[in-house]
Amino acid sequence: MTREEFDSYCRSFKAATNVVQWGNASVWKVGGKIFAIHSVWGEGDGGKISFKCSDLGYEVLKERPGLVPAPYLARAKWIQVAEPGAMSAEELRADIAAAYQIVARKLTRAKRAELSIVLE
């Protein structure tokens, strides 16, 4: 998934906001809390996607080839797609959607109401 595809997909979530920080990383948030990141750390790096996981999802995904605990965020159960093709675009979209849901669920009811977020 390219950065443009990543940004377009994340933009589709209700009340999702984007900031560019940490050396040109595209950081997506809901209610001020991060749910997914597309970062580029060096020349020739096509970018790496990181996302929030459930406890079980984290344990399963970190064992898959090409996926690693996300640097600086692993203790909060984040996974990074370290190698291109380690996940299909469909899998990646499903995990980003799950990340959005996980983070949105942690917002207060009042904040979700303010943002008009209805959880599945």
100 occurs within a structural domain? yes
Task: Enumerate residues 6+ apart whose C-beta is below 8 A from 2.
Answer: 46, 47
Between 110 and 24, name the one with better pLDDT.
Answer: 110
Q: Report residue 93 as tokens.
A: 């979209």
Residue among 96, 109, 68 at smallest CA distance from 1: 96
Span 43-52, pLDDT tens digits? 556 689 999 9
Span 29-78, pLDDT tens digits? 999 999 999 997 655 566 899 999 999 999 999 999 999 999 899 999 99
120 occurs within a structural domain? no
CA 107 to chain centre: 16
Least confident stretch, 7-11, 46-50, 89-93:
46-50
79 occurs within a structural domain? yes
No. of H helices and E strands in the chain?
A: 4, 6
119 occurs within a structural domain? no
48 occurs within a structural domain? yes
**Single pTM value for the model:** 0.92
Rg, Å, the chain Cα set:
14
CATH number, domain containing residue 75: 3.90.1150.30
Mean pLDDT, rounded, for 14-21: 95
80 occurs within a structural domain? yes
pLDDT of residue 42: 56
7 occurs within a structural domain? yes
What is the number of structural domains in the chain?
Answer: 1
For 36-59, give one letter per residue: b (16+ CB within 10 A) or e: bbbbeeeeeeebbbbbbbeeebbe
How far lies 34's CA from each of 44, 50, 56, in Å? 26, 10, 19
Band (pLDDT 50/70/90 cuts) for residue 104 is: very high
Residue span of the structural domain in which 19 resides: 3-114
